[in-house]
C-alpha cells in the first residue's frame, strides 16, 4: 500500500482528544486507521519535531516558523486575506504585498523540508488554503515519483469574488499542480471549473477533469466528515452515562440546544444567539424550560476581525442573559475553550438539538 503523507498548516496531536478544528479531527481519524506521515508547521520558537504517534504507525513532523514567517503566512495572508475572501467577505480583506510574498516563501520552504523525506509512489495529500502553492514548489524540488492531492476545507468562491485578490491568477494556477483537487460541495466544484476556464488556465474535458499544460487534473466533491461511529461510541461509554445523568440533573430536566464551533465570523454564532433570543421573545412559555449551550474555542487570536467577533459574541450573550435569566436559569451558557471529544459526545447525547 502506498504511504500516505499528509501536509497541513498545523500538525495536531493524534493522541490528544481535544482537537478543535474539523480538519484536525478528520486527519487524525484517517491516520489512526491507515498510518503515515503528518507534516506541517510548528509554533514560532518551538523545536522541530519528528516523533512517533498513534501507536507507532504515524510520524508527526513539524517545521517551526519564525515569528515573521508566522505573521506573513498565517496571521497575514492566510487568515486576513484568503479566509475572508473564500468566505465571500471581501470587506474584511487586509492585503499587504509583503505578506503575500511571505506566504509563498513559507510554502517554498515547507516543500524543501519535506522533499528529502519522500519515497517513490508516496501519496501526498495537501490540505487547505494555507498551502495553495505548495504542490508546485514540491514538484520543482523533488524528483520522486508521487501523486499529489489537494482538499479545500472551506468554500471556493466564484471568479468575480476571487478577482478582488491581487495576483489571484498565479495563485489559482498553482492548484493545477495537483493530480486531484477536492472540495466540500458541488457548488465549490462548479466555481472552480468556472474560474479556471474564465482565466484561461485550463479546459474542462469531462465532468470531472481539467486539461492544463498537457496534464489531466481530476476535480470533485468529496465531503469530509468525522468518524461518526467512533464519536457515537464515545458518548455511549459507562463513564459518559454518568456524566449525562449528572448534566440532566443539574439542568433540572430542562431541554438543551448545543452548538460547537470555533469562534469565527464565518460560523454565525451571533446570528444563532439572536435567533434564540427571538425564540424566547415569541414563545414566552419556553422561559426557564430550554437553554442554549454554545462551546466556542478560541481561534486566530490577535487578528482584528477575530477580536471583534469575540467582543460581539460575549456582549450579546451577556445582554440576552441579562434580559431573560432567572435566579435558577440562564438561557445561554457560553464556553470559550476547547472541550475533549469524549465530553462533547456526551453533551450531544444529552441535548435535544445539536
Over the stretch 40-59, which tens digit does the pLDDT of each residue have? 999 898 888 888 876 678 89
Distance CA 86, CA 152 (A): 10
Position with higher pLDDT, 248 vs 163:
163
Query: pLDDT class for 248, splitting at 50, 70, 90?
Result: low
For residue 30, the cross-strand partners are: none
Contact 307, 272 (CB under 8 A): no
pLDDT at 252 over 70: no
Distance separating the N- and C-terminal Cα atoms of the chain: 38
Q: What is the DSSP letter of 258?
A: E
> What integer best gives the mean pLDDT of the chain?
90
Position with higher pLDDT, 1 vs 187:
187
pLDDT at 238 over 80: no
In the block, residue with C-alpha cell 431573560: 324
Give residue 235's pLDDT.
Answer: 66
**How do residues 85-139 score in pLDDT, each as one tens digit?**
999 999 999 999 999 999 999 999 999 999 999 999 999 999 999 999 999 999 9
Contact 5, 39 (CB under 8 A): yes
Give residue 144's pLDDT.
Answer: 92
Q: What is the DSSP letter of 65?
A: P
Give residue 281's pLDDT.
Answer: 96
Does the model's pTM come out above 0.75? yes
- DSSP string for 102-167: HHHHHHHHHHHHHGGG--TTEEEEEESGGGTTHHHHHHHH----EEEEEE--S----HHHHTTSTT
Domains of the chain from N-terminus onward: 4-221 (3.40.50.2000), 228-349 (3.40.50.2000)
In the block, residue with C-alpha cell 506521515: 37
Distance CA 235, CA 241 (A): 8
Query: pLDDT class for 228, splitting at 50, 70, 90?
Result: confident
Give residue 68's pLDDT.
Answer: 97
Taking every pair of Cα atoms in the chain, the longest distance, rounded to a whole number of angstroms, is 70
Give residue 157's pLDDT.
Answer: 98
Distance CA 263, CA 125 (A): 27
Amino acid at each position: 500500500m502506498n504511504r500516505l503523507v499528509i501536509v497541513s498548516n498545523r500538525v495536531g496531536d493524534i493522541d490528544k482528544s481535544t482537537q478543535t478544528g474539523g480538519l484536525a479531527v478528520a486527519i487524525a481519524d484517517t491516520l489512526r486507521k491507515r498510518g503515515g506521515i503528518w507534516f506541517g508547521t510548528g509554533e514560532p520558537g518551538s523545536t522541530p519535531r519528528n516523533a512517533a504517534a498513534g501507536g507507532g504507525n504515524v510520524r508527526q513532523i513539524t517545521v517551526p516558523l519564525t515569528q515573521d514567517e508566522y505573521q506573513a503566512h498565517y496571521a497575514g495572508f492566510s487568515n486576513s486575506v484568503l479566509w475572508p475572501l473564500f468566505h465571500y467577505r471581501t470587506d474584511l480583506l487586509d492585503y499587504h504585498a509583503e505578506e503575500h510574498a511571505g506566504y509563498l516563501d513559507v510554502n517554498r520552504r515547507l516543500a524543501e523540508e519535506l522533499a528529502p523525506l519522500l519515497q517513490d509512489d508516496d501519496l501526498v495529500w495537501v490540505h487547505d488554503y494555507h498551502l495553495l502553492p505548495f504542490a508546485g514548489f514540491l514538484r520543482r524540488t523533488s524528483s520522486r515519483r508521487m501523486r499529489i492531492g489537494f482538499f479545500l476545507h472551506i468554500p471556493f468562491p466564484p471568479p468575480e469574488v476571487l478577482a478582488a485578490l491581487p495576483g489571484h491568477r498565479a495563485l489559482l494556477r498553482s492548484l493545477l499542480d495537483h493530480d486531484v483537487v477536492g472540495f466540500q460541495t458541488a457548488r465549490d466544484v462548479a466555481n472552480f471549473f468556472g474560474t479556471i476556464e474564465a482565466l484561461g488556465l485550463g479546459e474542462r474535458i469531462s465532468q470531472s477533469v481539467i486539461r492544463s499544460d498537457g496534464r489531466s487534473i481530476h476535480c470533485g466533491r468529496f465531503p469530509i466528515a468525522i468518524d461518526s461511529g467512533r464519536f457515537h461510541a464515545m458518548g455511549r461509554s459507562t463513564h459518559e452515562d454518568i456524566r449525562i445523568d449528572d448534566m440532566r440533573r443539574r439542568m433540572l430536566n430542562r431541554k438543551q440546544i448545543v452548538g460547537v464551533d470555533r469562534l469565527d465570523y464565518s460560523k454565525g454564532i451571533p446570528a444563532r444567539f439572536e435567533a434564540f433570543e427571538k425564540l424566547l421573545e415569541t414563545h414566552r412559555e419556553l422561559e426557564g424550560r430550554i437553554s442554549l449551550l454554545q462551546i466556542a474555542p478560541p481561534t486566530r487570536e490577535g487578528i482584528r476581525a477575530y477580536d471583534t467577533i469575540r467582543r460581539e459574541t460575549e456582549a450579546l450573550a451577556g445582554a440576552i442573559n441579562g434580559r431573560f435569566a432567572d435566579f435558577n436559569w440562564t438561557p445561554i451558557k457560553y464556553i470559550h475553550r476547547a472541550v475533549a471529544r469524549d465530553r462533547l459526545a456526551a453533551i450531544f447525547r444529552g441535548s435535544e438539538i445539536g
